[in-house]
Amino acid sequence: MPPLEPLLTARQLNEFVYCPRLFYYETVEGLFTHNADTVEGQSAHKRVNASESGLPAASASNPTGDPTEEIIHARSVSLFSESMGLTAKLDLVEVGSTTLRPVEYKKGAPQEGENGITLWPSDKIQLGLQILLLRENGFTCDEGVLYYRATRQRVPFVLDASTEGWIREQVQEARKTTQGPIPAPLDHSRKCPRCSLVGICLPDETQSLCEGEALDRRFAHQLDFDLPAEPLAPPADRINWGPFAELPEIRIVPPKAGSDVRRLIAPNPETKALYLNTPGHYVGKKGGEVTVSEEGKVIQSFRLHELHHVALFGPVQLSTAVVQTLCEKDIPITYFSMGGWFYGMTRGHSLKNVFTRIEQFRHAADRDLALLPARLFAYGKIRNQRTMLMRNHIQPPEAAIRLLKHLAAASLCATSTGELLGIEGNAAWVYFTEFAGMLKCNPDAGPNGTSWPFFSGERNRRPPRDPVNALLSLTYSLLAKDCTLACYAAGFDPYIGFLHQPRFGRPALALDLMEEFRPIIADSVVITLLNNDMLKPSDFLHAGESVSLSPAGRKSVFLTYEKRMNDLLTHPVFGYKVCYRRAIELQARMLGKYLTEEIEQYVPLTTR
Ligand code: SF4
């Protein structure tokens, strides 16, 4: 026997007619988010469905033609038809002496056109299917009513043969759509700004990266220049940086990107991160609030709907009730050591987008495919390191800047992940050799007259051995946390990467994604903290060779980091303003669209 097809609901068909892509997201990928419109619609339906009552058997409830009979109102009636593969929950069925009709409630207004007031096509199919389901269940029914709350209008609807034919065609089309691929976004439609999935769908952004001369997936192989014969390892003598032949500038942004892209998402998320950093604090829940207590006394409380995530450093205790509530509300909890090591996280069951993960695993398992996005992560990071030096160095070092440009171009031509990691490592060496030039304090003497070396002139970690490295390690940990959250939001497994190889406990994809953001977020926070005297010598703790931050020092870092994450930048590809936190999420979502072949090219975010 062939397997039964899953039942579609009349509500899903309503979505299919409104937008096939919305239908695909909700039906196939199981994605759903609320916005003001859906919350309002949901509460209106809750009121209608509050008094559920069954529909009498068909034989007893078909119209009798007796005008003395009373009208029966059956609410929240569930019907299904195996032969049609459809199901529906009807808000109301009115059974009168001469008619039986479903009444569907909608919060908006009807369509007004040349033929007067009519139903929207999406409402027409929903009501039409309800009529067909009533017929399938033995009732005599030819008409229905759509009640639009905004205008308080009852708009009648009669199901004629041609509309029935159209409805049946749409059902067929919707079934085909469930087999994939995902339908293209609507073209600059007025529906999109009101769509609850606009932040996931990104219709204009997706279109802009499909239009025009998108770069070929394997474009780097087509570049008509050769790598210079000299080894790329940085020479010990910096004067020798000059002889590298400069590779040409490679434009990653497709020419049409940004044109005509509407900003349909808010530039900043409305929620905020909660950092808790004091050992012994206890996090609980009271009503709709998260409370923080010290020695049994509540010292602060936060509304649940205001929280983006909760980050805990060191031994901060949590109640089971708050963990359950945060999981239910899809607010992740992240855990760090006092030194800032990112241990892991707790979150609810909201990992959907199974097709994104299938493509992620397929690309990660194929070296050639994995190399394509890996090159772009490395390229983005090196370009942004170069920009940081050009922007912040007291005397921008020409040779280093030229070499970073060369290494960025070389990263696009790497033929293996090993080679790419070598290029990226060399670029990091060049960048950190010049990093001290971006600091206003004397790195040899330390800030405010401290006598210990403030920066050794190179990147060191596990443990960091100077204050600059302690700050870099902490800000990289915070960024890894935010990139891990963005990976989950986009439906990825953060532990399978392309540039970074899988290793126990390492969020490899989050580390890939964070490459392009390291210089412009984490390094920028460190430079801001130091150049604005926002830290005191007492904010650094020394134990043997290692240096870490005190709770007060960490608090300054958290505040400056969060401020940076909320800073707005003009998105270099889409041309609108977004904050850095949103920009990371956009990159994660665009990576998903690249892997599922919705867009031609993942474009790393580089600033000027
Ligand atoms: S944002 Fe527009 S294209 Fe995307 S699912 Fe919603 S209505 Fe469809």
DSSP notation for 55-84: PPPHHHHS----TTSPPEEEEEEEEEETTT
192 lines ligand 1 (CB under 6 A): yes
| pLDDT confidence of residue 45 | 59
Determine the residue of 33, 197, 208 to mutate for testing ligand 1's pocket, defined as the one with the most ligand atoms within 8 A of the Cβ atom.
197
CB atoms within 10 A of CB 579: 18
Atom of ligand 1 nearest to the CA of 196: 6
- Our answer on whether the CB atom of 189 is closer than 6 Å to any ligand 1 atom is yes
Regarding the beta carbon of 9 and ligand 1, being less than 6 Å apart is answered no
The reply to whether ligand 1 has any atom less than 6 angstroms from the CB of 31 is no
Q: Quote the pLDDT of residue 38.
A: 59
Would you place residue 582 in the very low, low, confident or very high pLDDT band (cuts 50, 70, 90)? very high
pLDDT tens string 40-53: 666 555 655 556 66
Task: Measure the CA–CA gap between 66 and 69, rounded to whole angstroms.
Answer: 6
How confident is the prediction for the chain on average, in pLDDT? 83
Confidence of residue 65 (pLDDT cuts 50, 70, 90): low
Q: Which of 417, 434, 342, 341 is nearest to 377 (CA)?
A: 417
| Backbone dihedral angles phi then psi of residue 385, each to the nearest 5 degrees | -65, -40
Ligand 1 centroid vs 19 CA: distance in angstroms? 6
Residue nearest to atom 4 of ligand 1 (CA): 201
pLDDT over 70 at 479, yes or no: yes
- Ligand 1 in contact with 201 (CB < 6 A)? yes
Between 33 and 445, name the one with better pLDDT: 33
Q: Of the candidates 469, 474, 470, 444, which has an alpha carbon nearest to the alpha carbon of residue 458? A: 469
Nearest CA to ligand 1 atom 5: 22
Instruction: Tell me the mean pLDDT in the region 327-345.
Output: 86
Among 70-79, 184-193, 225-234, where is mean pLDDT lowest?
Answer: 225-234
Own/partner pairs, 45-52, CB within 8 angstroms, 24+ separation: 45/91, 45/105, 48/75, 48/76, 48/91, 48/92, 48/105, 49/75, 49/76, 49/89, 49/91, 51/75, 51/76, 52/76
How confident is the model over 146-163, as a mean pLDDT? 93
Across the strands, what pairs with 359? none
Question: What does each C-alpha distance from 418 to 408, 415, 432 come to in angstroms?
Answer: 15, 8, 21
What pLDDT is recorded for position 208?
83
Name the residue among 381, 478, 399, 386 with its Cα closest to residue 435: 386
60-64, 77-81, 87-91, 237-241: range with lowest mean pLDDT: 237-241
Rounded to the nearest whole angstrom, what is the distance from the C-alpha of residue 208 to the centroid of ligand 1? Answer: 15
C-alpha span between 381 and 383 (Å, rounded)? 6
Report the SS3 class of residue 326.
helix
Ligand 1 in contact with 186 (CB < 6 A)? yes
Half-sphere exposure of 104 (CA within 13 A, CB side): 29
Contacts of 455 (CB under 8 A, 6+ apart): 435, 436, 439, 443, 466, 467, 468, 469
Q: Indicate if the pLDDT at residue 251 is higher than 80.
A: no
Position 481 scores a pLDDT of: 93
pLDDT at 322 over 60: yes
Q: What is the pLDDT of residue 180?
A: 82
pLDDT digits (tens, 9 = 90+) for 211-240: 544 444 434 433 433 444 443 444 444 334
> Of 125-129, 284-288, 485-489, which range is least confident?
284-288
Report pLDDT for 238: 38
Contacts of 329 (CB under 8 A, 6+ apart): 304, 305, 348
| pLDDT for residue 216 | 43
Query: Which pLDDT score, from 0 to 100, does residue 574 have?
Result: 86
DSSP letters, 150-173, are TTTEEEEEE--HHHHHHHHHHHHH
- Tokens for 356? 């994104």
CA 347 – CA 542 distance, rounded (Å): 34
CB 450, CB 537: distance < 8 Å = yes
CA of 40 to the centre of ligand 1 (A): 19
Give strand pairing partners of 118: 111
Name the DSSP letter for residue 235: P
What's the gap in Å between 298 CA and the centre of ligand 1?
44
3-state DSSP assignment of residue 366: coil
What is the best residue among 18, 37, 186 to mutate for testing ligand 1's pocket, by most ligand atoms within 8 Å of CB? 186
- Per-residue pLDDT tens over the stretch 518-568: 999 999 999 999 888 888 888 888 877 788 888 889 999 999 999 999 999
Q: What is the CA(591)–ligand 1 centre distance, in A?
A: 19
Q: How far is the CA of 256 from the centre of ligand 1 (A)?
A: 21
Specify whether the CB–CB gap between 251 and 286 falls below 8 A. no
Are residues 266 and 566 in contact, defined by beta-carbon separation less than 8 angstroms? no
pLDDT at 9: 94
- Return phi, psi of residue 105, to 5°: -100, 135
Q: Which atom of ligand 1 is nearest to the CA of 191?
A: 7
> Is 19 near ligand 1, meaning CB less than 6 Å away?
yes
Comparing CA positions, the residue from 537, 531, 582 lying closest to residue 560 is 531
pLDDT in tens, 382-418: 999 999 999 998 888 888 888 888 888 888 888 888 8
pLDDT of residue 400: 85
CA of 29 to the centre of ligand 1 (A): 14
Q: Which spans in 150-273 are helix H? A: 161-177, 198-201, 203-208
Ligand 1 atom at minimal distance to the Cα of residue 25: 5
Q: Is the pLDDT of residue 71 over 50?
A: yes
Q: What is the pLDDT of residue 254?
A: 55
CB 213 within 8 A of CB 256: yes
Amino acid (one-letter) located at 367: R
For residue 197 and ligand 1, the question of a CB distance below 6 A is answered with: yes
Selection from 411, 406, 412, 371 nearest residue 386 by Cα = 406
The token pair that represents 67 in the structure block:
């005008």
Taking only the tens place, the pLDDT of each residue in 338-364 is 877 888 888 887 667 788 899 999 999
Taking the CA of residue 201 as reference, the ligand 1 atom at the shortest distance is 4
**Mutation probe of ligand 1 site: the residue of 32, 195, 589, 598 with most atoms within 8 A of C-beta:** 195
* Burial environment of residue 297 by CB neighbours within 10 A (0 to 12, 13 to 18, 19 or more): exposed
Q: Could you tell which of 15, 16, 21 is best to mutate to test the pocket of ligand 1, judged by most ligand atoms within 8 Å of the CB? A: 21
Q: Exposed, middle or buried: residue 246 (CB in 10 Å: 0-12, 13-18, 19+)? A: exposed
pLDDT of the residue at 231 = 39
Residue % of the chain over a pLDDT of 90 = 37
Separation of alpha carbons 442 and 597, rounded Å? 50
Contact indicator for 48, 105 with CB cutoff of 8 Å? yes
* Distance between CA atoms of residues 185 and 195, nearest Å: 12
**pLDDT tens readout for residues 425-456:** 889 888 998 898 898 876 555 555 555 567 77
Tell me, using a 6 A CB cutoff, whether residue 22 lines ligand 1: yes
pTM above threshold 0.85: no
Q: How far is the CA of 249 from the centre of ligand 1 (A)?
A: 36
- Ligand 1 atom closest to the Cα of residue 189 is 2
pLDDT of residue 547: 84
Measured N-to-C along each axis, helices 551-566 and 524-531 cross at an angle, to the nearest 10 degrees, of: 120
Gap from CA of 20 to ligand 1 centroid (Å): 8
- What pLDDT score was predicted for residue 192? 93
Q: How far does the centroid of ligand 1 lie from the alpha carbon of residue 314, in Å?
A: 43
Angle among Cα 417, 421, 423 to the nearest 5 degrees reads 115
Q: Tell me, what's the pLDDT at 398?
A: 84
Cβ of 265 less than 6 Å from ligand 1 = no
Distance of CA 265 from the midpoint of ligand 1 (Å) = 12
- 364 CA to centre of ligand 1 in angstroms: 29
Predicted confidence at residue 447, as pLDDT, reads: 54
- pLDDT at residue number 250: 56
Q: Is the CB of 38 under 6 A from ligand 1?
A: no
Q: Which residues contact 231 (CB under 8 A, 6 or more apart)?
A: none
Ligand 1 centroid – CA 193 distance (Å) = 8
